[in-house]
């Protein structure tokens, strides 16, 4: 079995203090209860005017997080390795704002529907992943996984499979979501998970052999992941998926130090998920982080992972779960390392 490690992390985190969005109006048919935007980010300063002009906010967030992850890993991209470095990005639907604005223009502009061709890429789901590859000069496998709440776990799963199969040596993996009026209105009408958030977290995933050969020190080891169809309101399904993951990793349930979960917006599904985790034998209390970040959609689990890596408790084994009440569950298992100690020893 190929050992997969995380050798770099980077993020753009939302404000922990939620506030009502400026576009919330009395009498709105959709209740906008506030949000957790990213504050103090200057995309032009960090990315340059050209990158900002031709990309939407989701891509801006992903670009900044990706640059920070590359720098954190000490990853040098050149002609010797760019063909073997790729991107795997999780998302809900790409930029909802890009799709909405492009669609609105088809009604607002004079015939024959004079939309801006340059705006079209913002209406497709893989724009951000492509933009990351262009910015860093990558020619390796490029993949976008649009699985909503499961976006981060699905991206890790896809990346691990690609690395294990030898399709790439290193992958920039993560998720990004924006907090804008179209996104907020769509999310609020779809399911009530509380205030929306935005942000991005990206990670450098590679085989342990690739990291060691390049002299990069792992922040964490990916012990396993699963994405399964489930009956969200059935605790037995959660217990089944988690137990299979732990069994494959060779870990008893009482060896899991932390469990990070997320709200689905469906109370029956949330309660069944908690009961299923208990039925799987987990003793660590499940923790949600919506109070710190809001619901960051596909990027929610990515930001949870980034927070755990930043804390860097050596040997800590963490289970991340992402349940979609429509019938899917993603689970990811990581073991953290003390990178500073390893670097000092080296």
pLDDT at 344: 52
Q: Tell me the mean pLDDT per 10 residues along the chain, length 346.
A: 95 78 58 76 89 87 97 97 98 81 80 74 86 96 95 98 97 94 76 85 98 97 98 98 98 98 95 98 97 93 98 96 97 90 53
CB-CB contact of 36 with 96 (8 Å): no
Nearest to 38 by CA among 24, 58, 55, 56: 58
Q: Name 255's Cβ contacts closer than 8 Å, sequence gap at least 6.
A: 317
Strand order in the sheet with 142-146: 142-146, 85-91, 170-177, 199-207, 4-12, 220-229, 328-336, 317-324, 258-260, 286-287
pTM over 0.85: yes
Q: Architecture of 4-214 per CATH?
A: 3-Layer(aba) Sandwich (3.40)
pLDDT value of residue 40: 87
CATH 3.40.47.10 is held by the domain 221-345: yes
Whether 221-345 and 4-214 are alike in CATH topology: the answer is: yes
Q: Where are the domains of the chain?
A: 4-214, 221-345
H-helix or E-strand containing 272? Answer: helix 267-279
């Amino acid at each position: 079995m190929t050992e997969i490690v995380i050798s770099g992390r980077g993020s753009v985190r939302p404000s922990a203090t939620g506030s009502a969005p400026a576009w919330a109006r009395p009498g709105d048919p959709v209740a906008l209860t506030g949000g957790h935007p990213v504050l103090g980010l200057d995309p032009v300063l960090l990315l340059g005017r050209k990158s900002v002009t031709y990309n939407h906010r989701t891509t801006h967030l992903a670009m900044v997080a990706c640059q920070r992850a590359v720098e954190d890993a000490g990853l040098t991209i050149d002609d010797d390795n760019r063909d073997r470095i790729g991107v795997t990005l999780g998302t809900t639907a790409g930029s909802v704002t890009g799709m909405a604005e492009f669609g609105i223009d088809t009604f607002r502009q004079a015939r024959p529907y004079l939309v801006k061709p340059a705006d079209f890429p913002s209406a497709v789901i893989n724009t951000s992943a492509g933009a990351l590859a262009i910015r860093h000069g990558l020619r390796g496998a490029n993949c976008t996984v649009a699985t909503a709440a499961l976006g981060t776990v699905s991206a890790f799963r896809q990346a691990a499979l690609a690395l294990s199969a030898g399709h790439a040596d290193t992958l920039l993996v993560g998720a990004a979501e924006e907090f804008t009026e179209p996104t907020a209105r769509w999310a609020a009408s779809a399911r009530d998970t509380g205030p929306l958030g935005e942000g991005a977290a990206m990670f450098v995933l590679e085989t342990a052999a690739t990291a060691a050969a390049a002299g990069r020190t792992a922040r964490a080891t990916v012990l396993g992941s699963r994405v399964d169809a489930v009956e969200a309101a059935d605790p037995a399904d959660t217990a089944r998926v988690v137990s299979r993951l732990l069994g494959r990793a060779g870990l008893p349930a009482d060896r899991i130090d932390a469990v990070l979960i997320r709200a689905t917006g469906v109370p029956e599904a949330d309660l069944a998920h908690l009961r299923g985790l208990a039925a799987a034998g987990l003793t660590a209390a499940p923790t949600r982080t919506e109070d710190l970040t809001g619901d960051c959609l596909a990027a929610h689990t990515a930001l949870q992972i980034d927070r755990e890596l930043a804390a860097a408790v050596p040997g800590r084994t963490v289970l991340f779960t992402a349940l979609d009440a429509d019938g899917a569950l993603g689970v990811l298992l990581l073991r953290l390392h003390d990178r500073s100690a390893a670097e000092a020893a080296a």
